[in-house]
Chains A and B, each alone.
Chain A
Amino acid sequence: MPVISLQNLKKVYKLGDNTVNALRGVSLDIEEGEFVAITGPSGSGKSTMMHILGCLDRPTEGHYLLNGNDVSNLSRDELADIRNRQIGFVFQGFNLLPRTTAAENVEVPLLYSRPVLPASERRARALEALRAMGLTDRAFHHPSQLSGGQQQRVAIARALVNRPTLILADEPTGNLDTATSIEVMRLLQELREKQKITIVLITHEPDIAAYGTRIIAVRDGIIISDKPNVPRRVSDEPEALPLAAVG
């Protein structure tokens, strides 16, 4: 059973008198453990796709099956619960809460778990996720005290802390320099390989898309190409640095 199954998905926005057909019939299946890079220029519909895949928005038409369940017509709160349990987000701008420690940032999704987790367990799981990202000694630092790469690793820890089946990364390297970008991609590849987590990456950079196992190109609201890819390895990068050296 595919993790994600889109069936003739359409999304129409009404902007005043104009209607914008952001998605014009997208169908695709993503299996567990795939690392799918969705590329396309701005206005191609990739952001809309990302919002629907992330259960932040609902399609106008068609169906979206997440882990076999149709989530196309769920209520706001039902979608919130799906996001909480099954999806981890990694944003371009990190979106860490300022003046809040890394551990507390990672705890945010756990705050909305149902049933409610006790504070001690929230803290333990946050620290565990930070440890997996190699940030144990930064757990009680505020984002302003962390480098860009560290901040993005905190954001990845936050995405992983509730053990989702799907990681949605929206331009995760947009604010990072090349070396740090490569480091983040390596982390995502590792998650896929070691934990079999399905990853959907939205990017407009072909270099970054090249780290996926499958590249889907979107334009004008439809899929124009969908090809398997031999993922680019970090070791292929001449300028790649070992993890410890990446700030």
Chain B
Amino acid sequence: MFAMLPVNLKLAVRSLNRNRLRTLLTMLGIIIGVAAVLTMVALGTGARASVEGEVGSAGTNIIFVRAGNYTRGGDAVGIVSGRGAATTLVAGDADAIRAGVSGIKALSPGVALRTFIASGSSRAFTRVQGIDSGFAAIYSWNMSAGRMLDSAAAAPEAVLGANLAATLFGADTDPLGQMIQVRDSAYRVVGVSDGQAEDHADVLFVPWQTLQKSLGQNHLDTITLAAEKAGESSRIASDITNLLRERHGITGTPSAGYLAGQGGVGGVPDDFTVETQAAQALTKGLYTPAAAFALANLPKLDEVTLEEMADTLDRASDTMTALLASIAGVSLIVGGIGIMNIMLVSITERTREIGLRMAAGARSGDVALQFLIEAVTLSMVGGLVGLVLGLVSAQLIGWSLGWPTTVSLGAMALAIGIAASVGLVFGSYPARRAAQLDPIEALRTE
């Protein structure tokens, strides 16, 4: 039986090639079904990875203060201050928060840019983040090699994420003591972090003061801090908002909730954003105005723990999975019926051929095998096309939702396996019909 596989495969390909349009149309159901299966698996595992990344990052409630705001218009004051564009967040703000807001476990000022970095002949385009030693406590880092940056010294030292270390120096070279060039400054590597949250594995960390100096800027891009107790982030965020509004001379009625500074009615927009980890997780992938709207209407969000957020995201991805699974199921069944139909047509068209093969000594099993292989070939080719389509659509959907999508080899094997089984299941009836033809009748057919 297996020895005849190449011959049967050749016959199948030839027969399918003869009616290309018919073959393509027949495969459509399988193509769509397999693409849906693949997209579903990719998004499902992607969403899970995303959630696990958030939950696993620190397990505490982290609060982000960012320069600038969601607002664009600045209707009232004529300021155009997109998020990240403001220069009013300064080191003094960080000190004031540290001194004036209670319940903070750790805090780190932050300066960030994306740029080329180089070490010897290795180059990489990556995020460079200016931080201080508090950063390690916020994200519960352990140093997998060397030590953390020394806050007080503000020396030209650097800590690498694990991936970046591997990219720049390879697995064989010890990164400690190596020099890395960023713009016009050189930094000596003193440590490698095991941090995985927020792509930390790909980031180069340097003292924020040093990076500020190198960039010639006096402001901060972010202040990152961690609350001592989970559940306090609401109060802390609100305290920070009030403190910064006061320091930045912003007046008006703060709106309710931690995302104060949307201005409320008639208020002046803040030139900063305070955001909790939960809020970040929720708004991931949403357009900025939609995110602001969602958060403004969820004043209690900060009381939601990250675990609950994860559950919500999981449920969302479950819904998506269920939807895609039903699309996949329906198209695979319809595709299977299409294959069955076209195989029955093909057998009717080729009755004489079947009769001839039987006269020449083909057993029932030989005839059944020939048509079964043709059906499976049809569905597997459809499966392969669906695989490619699924990879593309998973990438597109993942990209537009801001979800990472992962397509494992196992998922691809599953998709092809499903396609093959559809061919087997729906091809077996026509194959049996062909095998049971009476050779005399078959030879008589015109």
Using A51-B440, A91-B443, A95-B443 as known contacts, say yes or no to A119 and B360 having CB atoms under 8 A apart.
Answer: no
Closest Cβ–Cβ distance, residue B349 to chain A (whole Å): 11
CB pair B365 A56 closer than 8 Å: no
CB pair A77 B363 closer than 8 Å: yes
CB pair B360 A77 closer than 8 Å: no
CB pair B440 A80 closer than 8 Å: no
CB pair B4 A116 closer than 8 Å: yes
Q: Verify if A109 is at the interface (C-beta below 8 Å from B).
A: yes
Produce 1/0 per residue, B194-213, CB < 8 A to A. Answer: 00000000000000000000
Contacts of A83 in B (CB 8 A): 358-361
Contacts of A51 in B (CB 8 A): 440
Shortest Cβ distance from A93 into B: residue: B352
Partner of B353 from the list A80, A97, A109, A112 (CB cut-off 8 Å) is: A97
Partner of B361 from the list A85, A97, A99, A100 (CB cut-off 8 Å) is: A85
Contacts of A99 in B (CB 8 A): 14, 18
Q: Verify if A191 is at the interface (C-beta below 8 Å from B).
A: no
Shortest Cβ distance from A51 into B: residue: B440
Shortest Cβ distance from A107 into B: residue: B7
Q: In the bound complex, what is the Cα–Cα distance between A112 and B4 (angstroms)?
A: 9
Given contacts A84-B362, A119-B7, 12 further A-B contacts (CB under 8 A): A54-B359, A76-B363, A77-B364, A83-B360, A89-B359, A95-B352, A97-B353, A108-B360, A111-B362, A112-B361, A112-B363, A162-B361
Q: Verify if A205 is at the interface (C-beta below 8 Å from B).
A: no
CB pair A108 B18 closer than 8 Å: no
Q: In the bound complex, what is the Cα–Cα distance between A76 and B359 (angstroms)?
A: 11
Contacts of B359 in A (CB 8 A): 54, 56, 83, 89
Partner of B440 from the list A57, A85, A95, A113 (CB cut-off 8 Å) is: A57
Q: In the bound complex, what is the Cα–Cα distance between A91 and B358 (angstroms)?
A: 13
Question: How many residues belonging to B are interface residues under a CB distance threshold of 8 Å?
Answer: 23
Produce 1/0 per residue, A72-93, CB < 8 A to B. Answer: 0000110011011100010100
Q: Verify if A158 is at the interface (C-beta below 8 Å from B).
A: yes
Using A91-B443, A111-B4, A111-B7 as known contacts, say yes or no to A80 and B356 having CB atoms under 8 A apart.
Answer: no
Please report whether the interface of chain B is mostly helix, strand, loop or mixed according to DSSP. helix
Closest Cβ–Cβ distance, residue A193 to chain B (whole Å): 25
Q: In the bound complex, what is the Cα–Cα distance between A38 and B360 (angstroms)?
A: 22
CB pair A158 B361 closer than 8 Å: no
CB pair B358 A80 closer than 8 Å: yes
Shortest Cβ distance from B366 into A: residue: A112
Contacts of B364 in A (CB 8 A): 76-77, 80
Shortest Cβ distance from A86 into B: residue: B361
CB pair A95 B356 closer than 8 Å: yes
CB pair A56 B366 closer than 8 Å: no
Contacts of B329 in A (CB 8 A): none
Q: In the bound complex, what is the Cα–Cα distance between A229 and B350 (angstroms)?
A: 40
Contacts of A77 in B (CB 8 A): 363-365
Q: Verify if B439 is at the interface (C-beta below 8 Å from A).
A: yes
Using A108-B356, A108-B357, A112-B357 as known contacts, say yes or no to A80 and B363 having CB atoms under 8 A apart.
Answer: yes
CB pair A116 B3 closer than 8 Å: yes
Q: In the bound complex, what is the Cα–Cα distance between A57 and B352 (angstroms)?
A: 17
Closest Cβ–Cβ distance, residue B360 to chain A (whole Å): 4
Using A97-B353, A112-B366 as known contacts, say yes or no to A89 and B440 having CB atoms under 8 A apart.
Answer: no
Produce 1/0 per residue, B410-446, CB < 8 A to A. Answer: 0000000000000000000000000000011001000
Contacting B at CB under 8 A, from A138-166, are 158, 162
Q: In the bound complex, what is the Cα–Cα distance between A97 and B359 (angstroms)?
A: 13
Closest Cβ–Cβ distance, residue A151 to chain B (whole Å): 13
Q: In the bound complex, what is the Cα–Cα distance between A83 and B7 (angstroms)?
A: 21
Q: Verify if B6 is at the interface (C-beta below 8 Å from A).
A: yes
Partner of A109 from the list B352, B360, B363, B443 (CB cut-off 8 Å) is: B360
Closest Cβ–Cβ distance, residue B370 to chain A (whole Å): 9
Q: In the bound complex, what is the Cα–Cα distance between A54 and B359 (angstroms)?
A: 8
Contacts of B14 in A (CB 8 A): 99-100
